[in-house]
Amino acid sequence: MQLRTLSALECTRFLEEHRLGYLACSFEDRPYAVPIYYAFGNNSLYSFSMPGKKIEIMKKNPRVSLLVEEFGKDRTWKSVIAEGRFEVLADRVGSKVELDRAWSLLSKHANWWEPGGLKPDAQPLAYKSDHLFYRILIDELSGRESAVSG
């Protein structure tokens, strides 16, 4: 097996082609990782969530990373890691353009709101959703792929 480093352009294309990644965040030396659906655009990863542990952690420490991977035949694989800064896209004048961009990119996919819009506990019928959109402004991209040799 051989490994190859992906170029920045290959990393970007890979992020554009995929939707599921594993978001890693940390607070007080406690790592936390969860799967998210995302959309890529404007050097940012856009996503949707209900309030919860990951949002609270990212508000306290906005430095995060996202791992996106795919597995092929014969033990081949490709992965990209995007490192960046979390930012809530509030519905206010300064964030309106990015909030609209998030909605536009995410809504191109079926079930774009999963798993961020789901909670394990059943909610009462009168429950009001405090959902939010957020983005990760990418500071650094890296990627690798494997290939079967010879």
Annotated domain spans of the chain: 2-119+129-147
Asked if residues 143 and 3 have their Cβ atoms less than 8 Å apart, the reply is: no
Q: Report the C-alpha gap between 136 and 23 in whole angstroms.
A: 10
**pLDDT for residue 113 is more than 90:** no
Average pLDDT over residues 134-143: 97
CATH number of 2-119+129-147: 2.30.110.10
Average pLDDT over residues 37-60: 93
Instruction: Specify the pLDDT at position 124.
Output: 46
Instruction: Specify the pLDDT at position 150.
Output: 63
Q: Report the C-alpha gap between 84 and 17 in whole angstroms.
A: 19
With cut-offs at 50, 70 and 90, classify the pLDDT of residue 8. Answer: very high
Average pLDDT over residues 96-105: 74
> Whole-number mean pLDDT of the chain?
85
